[in-house]
Structure 1
Amino acid sequence: MRHAEEVTFGGSALDRAAELRGDIPALAAALLASDTRTILMWQGKPLVSGDEGAQELVRLPLDHPVLAEARAEPILLGREDGAARFAHDISNWQPEGQDLGQLGGFSDLSEQVHPSLAPGQRFAELRRVMTGLSPRDAELAASAKAILSWHSRHGFCACCGAASDIASAGWQRVCPACGAHHFPRTDPVVIMLILRGNSVLLGRSPGWPKGMYSCLAGFVEPGEAIEAAVRREVFEEAGVQVGAVSYLASQPWPFPASLMIGCRGEALSDKIVIDPVEIEEARWVSREELAVAFAGQHPEILPARNGAIAHFLLRNWLADTLD
């Protein structure tokens, strides 16, 4: 697919500096360098500045006083123009006088302002600001969110149950009791542009905003090929048999840590029989209908969230730029 890497979080050629992760002297030097900066996260939200739709990811110097609140050692994200970039997490900070009930929700509009930070700098839900970030800022924010989320969920050894330690600049955990090494987890998910003639198969899950439809998706199971997962998920959710399957694009999706594998599939029938446990509704939508929905004028259909790979695939299908 010609435009595959233009998807949100699709990459910005960040130098991930993997060779530094086990180099203790080099890491120590990077932590002392004047041009080193860190990405600050709170409850999975990156610190950003700028106006709505044109946000920038804030990069703080390592002597900033707010970093004293970090609950663990920093994670090395990579290098920009030769300078190291880390991530710090201050999720233990408790904002005063704010209802935090929206945190982690589908439409979290809340923003949090730390008193030690500059005016205009605030923590914002990544799903809300992702399309306003540059490709580099989006990649750094997604990487920081995903790796810190993994650490927050995997503090204990899966082999013996003992508390594990951060190692390799944040890209491993090592168990001091049994010596097991644990690595960040990414869950593969297939997301499918299922076509039949001039129509695409869309569905919606319970709890989504009213009228929102998207491509069908599901996790790849152990021992399963991507193509097989596409066919199985579409049949399980919508009762539609799929023939030929081809790869289109992928998207790292840090909510909390998935790799969305975008595929195109050719439906062998148009009869839909949904599994109500899996989805709430599925329907065939013509190219003309989808164009109206993307224009915001369809009475029943809202397209997938801008920034998600489903929106990207559907938009490219409309523009005939999948190949």
Structure 2
Amino acid sequence: MRVDLFDFELPQELIALRPVQPRDSARMLVAKGDAPFDDHTVRDLPQLLEPGDVLVFNDTRVIPAQLEGRRGDARIGATLHKRIDLRRWQAFIRNAKRVREGDQLVFGGGVTAIAEERHSDGSITLAFEGEEPVEVLLDRAGTMPLPPYIAGKRPTDERDYSDYQTMFAVEDGAVAAPTAALHFTPELIAALDERGIQRETITLHVGAGTFLPVKADDTDDHQMHSEWGRITADVAERLNAARAAGGRIIAVGTTSLRTLESAAWEDGTIQPFEADTNIFITPGYNFRAVDGLMTNFHLPKSTLMMLVSALMGRDRMMAAYAHAIAAKYRFYSYGDSSLLIP
């Protein structure tokens, strides 16, 4: 399938550089089947779902995975992408042509790493030196890895350390936020509980590959980066029971959706899961585990635009995005939301 089928023009002023406050006051475009689009706010969510439905959140926590430093006299930047083991991470390197295998990279706070191996996707394995846990080193030397469409417009600041973290974040390891869940507040959760909407959490450590553009002309030629995910046995059991009782599984974010679909059998049964996944969902995909998706508005020609088009149909999603642009919804990580029910 041609990648340019998922392209659209977005006015730059609609790219959100800060989230709205309070979080659940963000706007939400609702698309259900072929019904007309409805404009709501996120705090309307309890009334848009039915008792017995289940919202599935990603509990990953974003780590300060953006590093600035030097290789000799050359300035370099590193964005950690995926953990390999306790001391080694794959990283995308800015000015990577100045880095060779075996070089020592020096970051702030006395943090150093050895460039070990260059991979086919352009990333490099970094082995952090010393005895301190890498998490401690990152807290000292790293900054929040804001997406390029935000970081290119303004510097990271203290607000981002809370703004770019969901209220469900407990499992360290993501280098990008599961942004659909940024809209949730304790007040909204209380309203969902009162309505009888169930909640479950799973884990997918989002990698920096989520920001990379699709460079291929055809979707068949694009290689997804792998990310580590987990669904525990008790969560899988409760999700299957809820669906058997007539409840719908609503993924909060594409990261939750991809984890659920990676763990599902052909009959839709969700299995316990703890593995890497590089699932790439494009139109024609047969969804097995989810009945709907809450998600932000995505980049043109991105794998996530392809995913929502697979769920709702490409023409339907292009019409939804045209509606959102005309109505001046705010786009991307700090932007507004959508609720998609096929």
Q: Which has the larger radius of gyration?
A: 1
| Fold-level similarity (TM above 0.5) | no
TM bucket, shorter chain: under 0.3
The structure where helix makes up a greater share of residues is: 2
TM-score for the superposition, normalised by structure 2: 0.27
Q: What TM-score, normalized by structure 1, do the two folds share?
A: 0.28
